[in-house]
A and B are shown apart, each in its own frame.
Chain A
Amino acid sequence: MSTQLPDQTEDESSAGEAEPTSAAQERRMAKKRERAAERDEKRQAEEAEAALADEETYHLKVFRYDPEIEGKKEPRFDDFHVPYHKGMTVLDALMYARDTYDSSLTFRHSCRQAVCGSDAMFVNGRQRLCCKTQLSDLEEPVRIEPLPHAEVVKDLVVDMEHFYDQMEAVEPYFQTNDLPDGELEEQRQSRENREKVKMSTRCIWCGACMSSCNIAAGDNEYLGPAAINKAYRFTMDEREGEDMKQQRLEILEQEHGVWRCQTQFSCTEVCPKDIPLTEHIQELKREAVKNNLKFW
C-alpha cells in the first residue's frame, strides 16, 4: 500500500471568501484576481519552458492534501518540473518547487544534512530521507508522498505523535546507581562497550523504520524498531548495571515488545543512518531468553 488517504473532514474552516461589502473591497478583489491570473500564467510559462529543456529538469509528482482548503480536501498529486543541477537532492527539488511555483507546498525540513530527521518521506515507493537522496538516483517521475502508516496533517507532513509516544514508552534515559563519588570524576566506560552501543545512538527519530514496518502497521501498540533500538542503547550500556538491565528487559518483553518483530528487515533497509535495527531487536530477544533462564 502506498499513501493512506486520510478521512475527509467537514469544511469548518474560516478560510472561505468573505462577501465583498464595499466598492473599494471589490476593486481590491478584482486586482487580486488579476494578479492571481498573471501569476498562474507566469507559472505555466515557466513550467512549460522547464519541460521543454527536458534533459535538464526533473519531473516530480507530489502528494497534496489540506483538510480545509477547497480543491485540496480530496487528495491529489501535483506535477512540478524542476530545473536540475548536479548534486541536487529531493529536498532541494521540493524547496525549489515551493519557493518558485507554489508557496503552500508543505513539508518538514531543517538541517539539510541528515541529522535533524525531519524530512523522511515516501519517495518512489520507499521511505527515504529527502535531504540525502540524490535525484539522479531516482526514476522519473519522482513520486513523493508522506510517510505511510501515519496520519497526514497536510501535504507531506504527517502526525508524529504516535512515534514520539512509543519512543518515550521505553524509559528513554540513562539510569544508574553507580555514579562515582568524586565531584569531577567520570563514570568509566570501556571502548568496546561504547563501540557496542555506538550505532544505536545514531538514531535521528525520522520515523522511516516505523513507517516501513508491517507489524507496527497492524499493531498500534507495538513499540516499533526505533523505540526498541533506543532501549537497546541503554540495555547494552555497561554503566547502567545489572538491575537496570533486568528492568529494561521486562519492558521489552511485554506483549507489544521485541517478540512482535518477525525479522523482515524492512526497518534496517530503510534506516538512513544504517543502524542494524533488526539485529538489535534479535539481540534483545536473546538477552531476554538468557535472562529468563537465569531465574529458572
Chain B
Amino acid sequence: MHEHDVIVVGAGGAGLRAAIAAQEEGADVAIVSKLHPVRSHTGAAEGGINAALREGDSWQDHAYDTMKGSDYLGDAPAIETLAQDSPEEVIQLEHWGMAFSREDDGTVSQRPFGGLSFPRTTYAGAETGHQLLHTMYEQLVKRGIQVYDEWYVLDLAVSDEETPEERSCHGVVGYDVQSGNIEGFHARDGVILATGGPGQVYDHTTNAVANTGDGVAMAYRAGVPIEDMEFIQFHPTTLPSTGVLITEGVRGEGGILYNSEGERFMFEHGYANNDGELASRDVVSRAELTEINEGRGIEEEYVHLDMRHLGEERIVDRLENIIHLSEDFEGVNPLEEPMPVKPGQHYAMGGVETDENGETCISGLYAAGECACASVHGSNRLGGNALPELIVFGARAGHHAAGRDLGEAEIPTGKRGEWEAGDVETPVEPGAIEPSVEADATGGDAVADGGSGLDPAGLVERATERAKERVEALLDNEDGRNHAEIRAEVQESMTENVNVFREKERLEEALRDIREAREAYEDVGVADQSRTFNTDLQQTIETRNVIDLAEAITLGALAREEFRGAHWRKEHQERDDENWLKHTLLSWNEGSPELWYKPVLLEGENKRYEPKIRSY
C-alpha cells in the first residue's frame, strides 16, 4: 500500500495547483492521474483567466459580473473568494514564468470577454490553458512532487457510517494501466479530487475523451451530494464536425456572428441589444440555435463566425492558434472565410458539493476545479472564469487538506444547514438496478451497515479488495456487452434530449434511455484479457460513471421547473426566484437517488446581491 499525507486525483490545473499548495504547507503529497499531467484537458483551454489586476477594475466588479452571469445561483462566499484570490494566483503564475501575452510596457495583456464589465481576461494567445498547464507542471518537476501517472483511480476508501456527514475518506484505489496491478493509496490527511468535467456524457463536446467525470461519480456513490448537475454549458462557438473549441476570445477581439441571410443576428434579431456577440454564453448559444431552428442557419446546422476584418496582424498576434484549429479540423482558413460554428457541450457548472475551502461533507475528501461545485458559476459560467477557479480553489483545497487554517467555511455542506426535501416524478426508476445488491457487490458504494470498525488502512485495504473483485468480474465476462455501444447510446440520447432547449417529454425519454443503458451495463464485459495497458477495461469502468452522471444531469433538468442561466425549459419560460432560488442536490443514497435542495447564499462580505433581471 502506498502512503502519503495528501493524495490528489487528477493532474490538470486544479490538481497540479492543489499538489503544489499541499507541499507549500509541508505535506508529503502525491498525484494519481490516469493521464500524464501534460496530457490533461486544461491544456485545451484557450481564452484566458479573469483577474482584477488593473486600475479601474476591482474584485468587487469581478464578483458582481460573476454573480450576474450565474443568474443568481452562485454562492456569494465562493464567488467573492474567486474574485479576491484570482489576482494573486495569476501573478504567481507569471512569477513561475508563464508566457502571457504582453503589452508594450511589458505587463501582461487582458482582453474583453462575454459578460464582463472590464477587459480582465488575462491571456497567452489563444492557448492560455496550454501555457498554464505546462508552467504548473514545470513547478511540479522543480519541487520533485511524486506523480503516479497512467494510474486510474477506481474508487475512494470511505468509512461506512449511516449518514454521509459522519463518514471520512482515507485514500483511493489505483489501477496501474501499464501493468494491470491494483493497489491502495492511503492518504493520512486528505484526498483531493481534481478529475475535471463529464463532457463524454455528450457526443458533441469540446471535452477530451478522458473527461468522463470519474471523480464526481465516485464521490456521488460514496455518499457526497452532487450539486446543480442540470446546468451544462453549451459553448456557442465549436466547430460543427468535431466539437473543437473556437475561443470566445475571437468575439472578445471583435469577431462577428452572421446567419445565412448575412444578418448580425445578435443585434438584428434582438437577442442582446447592448453586448451583441459578447453576451453571456447561454444567451449566444440559444440565439444561434433559434436562428438555425427558424431556417436561418447554414446547411441547417451552423452559423458563421467572421474575424477577417480584424486583419491578419492582430489575428496572428492574439489568436494564432485559432487559424490552425480551423484549418486542421474544419478545413477553413479563417483569414479568408468565416468559420462555421455551432453550440457544443463545453462545461459542467455543477459537480461535487464543496464549501469555499474545497471540502466536501465527508471529512478528508476535497474537490476542486470543474469536478467541484462550490458554487462559483451557479447556472452559467462566464468565459475566463474556469481557469481562475482551478488555481484559486486548487490552492485552497491543497492548503486546507495539508492543515492550513483558512477560517470557518460559510457554505454548509451535506444536510448540515438549511435544506428541504425534493421530489421529481420519473417515468422509470432512477439509480441502481438492484440498489441493495449493488451496494454489496460492486464495491462502488459505501455500505451503510453501521460502521465496520476498520482503521484507515483497513478501509483502504477493503476498498482495494472490492475493486479487485469488480475488475475480475468484468474480465471474467469476456463475451459480455461492449461498453462502447452503451456509451454511444447514452451520448446520443443526451445530445438529442438534454441539450440547450429542454422539454419534459424529451427529458423523460432520456431517462428511459439511461435506464436501458443501465440494464445493458449489467451484462457489460471486457473482451481484452490482457493485464497490459487494458484500455478496454478502463473505458468500461468509465462508462459506468458516464451513465450515473447522465442520469443526474437529466434528473436535475426534469426537477427544475424554471428557466435560469443555461437551463431552458419549454414549459417554464421564466426565472422563478420565489420557488427556485435554490441549489439542486442529489444523494446516491446507496443506489436510490434522493433529491433535495438548499438555499443560494446571496449574502456577500459587505453586501447582498439582489437578483435582478439579467440582460446583456
Contact = CB atoms under 8 A, between A and B. Distances in A.
B44 A201 contact: no
Contact of B139 (A117, A173, A191, A194): A173
B325 interface: yes
Contacts of B131: 201
A191 B104 contact: yes
A191 B100 CA distance: 10
B139 A164 contact: no
Interface stretch (A108-116, A262-270, A282-290): A108-116
Interface residues of A, number: 66
Nearest to B484: A99
A164 B36 contact: yes
B405 interface: no
Nearest to A180: B95
B549 to A, nearest CB: 18
Interface string A163-199: 0100010001110100100011111111100100110
A239 interface: yes
B424 interface: no
A186 to B, nearest CB: 5
A13 interface: yes
Nearest to A129: B328
B107 A188 contact: yes
A132 B38 contact: no
A22 interface: no
A234 interface: yes
A229 interface: no
B138 interface: yes
Contact of A111 (B101, B208, B530): B208
B190 interface: no
B106 A15 contact: no
A172 B141 contact: yes
Interface stretch (A32-40, A51-59, A75-83, A213-221): A32-40
Contacts of A160: 36
A154 interface: yes
B235 interface: no
Contacts, number: 170
Nearest to B328: A132
A187 B518 CA distance: 54
Given A66-B530, A115-B44, A186 B108 contact: yes
Interface string B157-183: 000000000000000000000100000
Contacts of A111: 39, 41, 43-44, 208-209
Contact of A187 (B40, B95, B103): B95
Contact of B135 (A35, A106, A174): A174
B96 A174 contact: yes
B99 A172 contact: no
Contacts of A191: 102-104, 106
A236 to B, nearest CB: 11
| Tier of interface size on chain B | 35 or more
Contacts of B107: 186, 188
Contact of B138 (A99, A173, A240): A173
Contacts of B530: 13, 15, 66, 68-69, 104, 154
B210 interface: yes
A39 B479 contact: yes
A118 B101 contact: no
Contact of A13 (B243, B528, B531): B531
B479 A35 contact: yes
A201 B95 contact: no
Interface in B73-114: 87-88, 91, 94-97, 99-108
Contact of A198 (B36, B99, B139, B482): B99
A26 to B, nearest CB: 15
A157 interface: yes
Given A173-B139, A186-B108, A201 B134 contact: yes
A35 to B, nearest CB: 4
Interface string B518-539: 0000000011111111111000
Contacts of B91: 183-186
A107 B178 CA distance: 12
A108 B96 CA distance: 30
Given A104-B527, A132-B329, A190-B106, A112 B97 contact: no
Contact of A115 (B43, B99, B535): B43
B242 A87 contact: yes
Contacts of A154: 530, 532-533
A103 B482 contact: yes
B341 to A, nearest CB: 15
Contacts of A87: 241-242, 329-331
Contact of B38 (A98, A176, A187, A205): A205
A145 interface: no
Contacts of B145: none
A168 B149 CA distance: 15
A103 B39 contact: no
Given A103-B482, A190-B102, A190-B106, A113 B44 contact: yes
Interface of B: 35-36, 38-41, 43-44, 53, 87-88, 91, 94-97, 99-108, 125, 127, 130-131, 134-135, 138-139, 141-142, 178, 208-210, 241-245, 324-325, 328-331, 478-479, 482-485, 488, 526-536
